[in-house]
Amino acid sequence: MESTSENIRFAGRVIAQGGLVAFPTETVFGLGADALNEEAVRNVYKAKGRPSDNPMIVHVAEARQLQQLTDQDMTLLEPLAKAFWPGPLTIVVQKKILVPDVTTGGLGTVAVRNPDNDIARELIMAAGAPIAAPSANLSGRPSPTKTQHVIADLKEKIDVILQGEDCRVGIESTVLDMSEGHPVILRPGIITKEQLENVLLRPVEIDPALIHDPKDRGDFRPKAPGMKYKHYAPKADMVLFQGEDDAVIRQIHRVKEAEEAKGRKVGIIFFSEGEYAKAAHDWFAQLRSLDQDGVDVILAKALSQKDQVGFAVMNRMLKSAGYHVEKV
Ligand code: TXA
Ligand code: MG
């Protein structure tokens, strides 16, 4: 439904009564439930078809609500919230017992985010409770960045879909673990390691599991449970081509012709080096659109992982392609 003030208040009541509401944020759409209501949170897992050991992000309307969810010392948390909230940063902290285990997938920590979207914040206020919300897609499908994507995945399964504009960022928030004293990025996003270090005035680690291909990762197991699942999978087979723009274009065209000669329908996703924010913004929408066109193969250009936003988008690209990369 349209996100009028009246409809947002209605949706807030639906959440307060244990229902499920999808809503826009600046990153991707979320599927929300009262974070403190176990039954409601269980229903989110059910609607998405999501494994229940995968914890949810708890969304708050204002930064100071963080203190309702954790007893952790605020010395480092306050500057983070001041610099990046509202915005696409999720902070993992030790949880208070009031946060149910189902919400955190049984972990002793809780992930908290203050989204930069008026509809989202009004909804949280109207619900009168923090809102647990994973991305509003069926588990394993690309994250939703347009209202239409949410309708396609969840229309029959949830109570309300609040409409919104296309998501400004397009990839999910940076997840930063602050629960153990030293900061660790568990999921890369548009807020980068450098930006975090500039505020925290100390080194920020990147979870080593994010840097390694799962096939040769060995003992590096991702600390964010959600990062271990096959994710963002289009229906088509997908290959990433790594190299200079020109060489990649030539190779993509060669492979395209060969695939088409076999009668396969080919889709291409190409972002020039440097277009990282655009790549983040468009990536999931392009995957969904190619799926809808019924392509059999997706050929895409890999991005440089030296750039931190490029690294964040590549994290999603690699998963979509099942780590299938060809150097050219
Ligand atoms: O941008 C976003 O973060 C979007 C919007 C809706 O806010 N939400 C989102 O949620 O991407 P979801 O559920 O799709 O991804 C949450 C990620 C998962 O990888 C999960 O494992 C991790 O955050 N996570 C949640 N709680 C955690 C915790 N306590 N410790 C470690 N990782 C956690
Ligand atoms: Mg997700």
Note the pLDDT of residue 216.
63
Which residues are within 8 A (CB) of 239 and not within 5 positions of it... i.e. 6 or more apart? 255, 297, 298, 299, 300, 321, 324, 325, 326
Flag whether pLDDT at 328 surpasses 60.
yes
Mean pLDDT of 158-175: 98
Nearest atom, ligand 1, residue 30 CA: 6
Q: Which residue among 56, 179, 184 has the greatest number of ligand 1 atoms within 8 angstroms of its CB, and so is best to mutate?
A: 56
Which residue minimizes the CA distance to atom 15 of ligand 1?
Answer: 134
Q: Report, as an integer, the average pLDDT of 204-225.
A: 75
Ligand 1 contact via 137 beta carbon (within 6 Å):
no
Please report the DSSP string for 153-197 in residue order: HHTTTSSEE---PPPSS-SPPEEEE-TTSS-EEEE--SS-HHHHH
Q: Which of the pair, 220 or 271, is modelled with greater confidence?
A: 271
What local confidence, expressed as pLDDT, does residue 6 receive?
Answer: 98
Neighbours of ion ligand 2 (CB under 5 A): 135
- Cα–Cα distance, 303 to 319 (Å, whole number): 13
For position 183, what pLDDT does the model report? 98
Span from the CA of 47 to the centroid of ligand 1 (angstroms): 16
| Residue 57 predicted with pLDDT over 90 | yes
User: For ligand 1, atom 32, which residue shows the shortest CA distance?
Assistant: 224
Query: If you average pLDDT over every residue of the chain, what do you get?
Result: 94
Ligand 1 neighbourhood includes 145 CB (under 6 angstroms): no
* 18 DSSP 8-state letter: T
215, pLDDT greater than 70: no
| Residues contacting residue 144 through CB under 8 Å, at least 6 positions apart | 28, 29, 135, 136, 137, 150, 153, 284
Mean pLDDT of 69-79: 96
pLDDT at 36: 98
Residue 224 CB less than 6 A away from ligand 1 = yes
Helices 5-16 and 118-127 sit at what angle, rounded to 10 degrees?
Answer: 50
Mean pLDDT to the nearest integer, 13-21: 98
Question: Distance, CA 228 to ligand 2 centroid (Å)?
Answer: 12
At position 81, the amino acid (one-letter code) is A
Neighbours of 288 (CB within 10 A): 22
* Pairing assessment for the beta strands 89-94 and 174-177 based on DSSP bridges: parallel
> Residue 231: pLDDT band by 50, 70, 90 thresholds?
low
CA–CA dist 295, 267 (Å, integer): 6
* Encoded tokens for 10: 């209605």
State yes or no: pLDDT of 229 exceeds 60.
no
Taking the C-alpha atoms of residue 268 and residue 305, their distance in angstroms, rounded to an integer, is 20
Give residue-wise pLDDT tens across range 29-43: 999 999 999 999 999
| Sign of CA pseudo-dihedral 58, 62, 65, 67 | positive
Summarize the confidence of residues 287-293 as an average pLDDT.
94
Q: What does the block give as tokens for 181?
A: 């004293």
CB of 69 sitting under 6 A from ligand 1: no
Q: Is 107 in the pocket of ligand 1 (CB under 6 A)?
A: yes
Is there an atom of ligand 1 within 6 Å of 91 CB?
no
The number of beta carbons lying within 10 Å of the beta carbon of residue 278 is: 13
Of all protein residues, the one whose alpha carbon is nearest to atom 3 of ligand 1 is 173
**Mean of pLDDT values over 182-209:** 96
273 CA to middle of ligand 2, Å? 26
Range of weakest confidence among 45-49, 228-232, 285-289, 300-304: 228-232
Query: φ and ψ at 48, to 5 degrees?
Result: -85, -20
Q: Is the pLDDT of residue 201 over 60?
A: yes
d(CA 134, ligand 2 centre) in Å: 6
In the chain, the percentage of residues whose pLDDT exceeds 90 is 86
CB 289 within 8 A of CB 236: no
Estimate to the nearest angstrom the gap between the alpha carbon of 281 and the chain centroid: 12
Asked if residue 104 has its Cβ within 6 Å of ligand 1, the reply is yes
pLDDT of residue 220: 58
Q: How long, in residues, is the chain?
A: 328
Q: What confidence category does residue 228 fall into, taking pLDDT thresholds of 50, 70 and 90? A: low
